[in-house]
């Protein structure tokens, strides 16, 4: 399953995350990823690399219409006029006429969610984005966002890997036809040293990271692993030529714990 379909959007199941990638390194990695077959590139206003992502896209020679570019609006731009202006600034930095998927990066309780969702829907209506969604939203916030938005939301981008149970968020998204997009899908590299995943991988002649990414894809979850190493790009996308057994899927799923979250910020919502 190479594409995740959600409320009219088609999201490539494996993409490239670009958090902490900067300058020529970022542009080079994006270019190489697209040449290798990636068709989903994720950036954000706060990453300060939208310009380089656009450079990598143009250098790759891949048709613009074949690539899903995601960017995320930072929390300080959630009021209507700010959101529209910041989306236009993202487009200018990327040198694109529209963003494929425009997300709210984190919840911001300082701005009424209904106000922000109205602004996000308006950005789509203006043609600034083909599709819209959210990121780091809890089940309760997904429900509130869907109710407040006049346009369909296509995803919730959240931290998701075998050490963190996201079953409730997945179920909430499924109720509304939304996809889950997993960031930090290999747990910031910790997966690579996991002996249990390595043993599973040995049966398929795959690495622990490939097993982890395949586990997500088989749940109909898109994953956006980040890497600054060219050799990892090929490894991360090479997960469509095998299928994990039901037993192996279960073995991986029971690895989650309450302390598995790796990413959190002071303004992040409570996740219980």
- What does the pLDDT read at residue 272? 36
Q: Rounded to the nearest 5°, which phi and psi values hold at 260?
A: -80, -10
Burial group, residue 156, by CB count within 10 angstroms (0-12, 13-18, 19+): buried
* pLDDT over threshold 60, residue 1: no
In the chain, the percentage of residues whose pLDDT exceeds 70 is: 96
Give, in order, the Cα–Cα distances in Å from 78 to each of 82, 99, 122, 157.
6, 17, 12, 17
- What does the pLDDT read at residue 263? 78
User: What rounded mean pLDDT belongs to the chain?
Assistant: 95
Can you tell me the mean pLDDT for 208-229?
A: 97
Q: What is the pLDDT of residues 221-235, one digit of tens each?
A: 999 999 989 889 999
pTM for this entry: 0.95
Can you tell me the mean pLDDT for 119-131?
A: 98
- Which residues are paired to 179 by β-bridges? 155
Cα 46 to Cα 71: distance, rounded to the nearest angstrom: 10
Cα 63 to Cα 60: distance, rounded to the nearest angstrom: 9
- In sequence order, the 6+-apart residues with CB closer than 8 A to the CB of 199 are none
Q: Parallel, antiparallel, or unpaired: how do β-strands 40-42 and 68-73 relate?
A: parallel
Q: What is the pLDDT of residues 37-79, one digit of tens each?
A: 999 999 999 999 999 999 999 999 999 999 999 999 999 999 9
- What does the pLDDT read at residue 11? 98
> Which of the pair, 180 or 262, is modelled with greater confidence?
180
Q: Known catalytic residues?
A: 47
- What does the pLDDT read at residue 265? 55
Six token digits for residue 172: 């909430």
The number of residues in the chain equals 272
Cα 84 to Cα 75: distance, rounded to the nearest angstrom: 13
- What does the pLDDT read at residue 268? 47
In the chain, the percentage of residues whose pLDDT exceeds 90 is: 91
């Amino acid at each position: 399953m190479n594409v995740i379909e959600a409320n009219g959007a088609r999201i490539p199941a494996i993409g490239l995350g670009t958090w902490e990638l900067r300058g020529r390194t970022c542009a080079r990695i994006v270019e190489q990823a697209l040449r290798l077959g990636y068709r989903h590139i994720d950036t954000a206003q706060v990453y300060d690399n939208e310009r380089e992502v656009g450079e990598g896209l143009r250098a790759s020679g891949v048709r613009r219409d074949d690539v899903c570019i995601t960017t995320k609006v930072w929390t300080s731009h959630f009021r209507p006029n700010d959101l529209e202006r910041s989306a236009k600034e993202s487009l200018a930095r990327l040198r694109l006429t529209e963003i494929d998927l425009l997300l709210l990066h984190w919840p911001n309780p300082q701005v009424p969610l209904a106000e922000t969702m109205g602004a996000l829907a308006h950005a789509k209506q203006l043609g600034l984005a083909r599709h819209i969604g959210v990121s780091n939203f809890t089940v309760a916030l997904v429900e509130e966002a869907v109710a407040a938005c006049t346009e369909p939301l296509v995803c919730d981008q959240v931290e998701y890997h075998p050490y963190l149970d996201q079953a409730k968020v997945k179920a909430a998204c499924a109720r509304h036809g939304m996809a889950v997009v997993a960031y930090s899908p290999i747990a910031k590299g910790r997966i690579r040293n996991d002996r249990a995943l390595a043993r599973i991988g040995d049966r398929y002649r795959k690495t622990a990271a490939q097993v982890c990414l395949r586990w997500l894809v088989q749940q109909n979850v898109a994953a956006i692993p980040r890497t600054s190493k060219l050799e990892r790009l090929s490894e991360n996308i090479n997960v469509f030529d095998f299928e994990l057994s039901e037993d192996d899927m279960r073995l991986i799923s029971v690895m989650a714990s309450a302390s598995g979250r790796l990413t959190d910020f002071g303004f992040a919502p409570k996740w219980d």
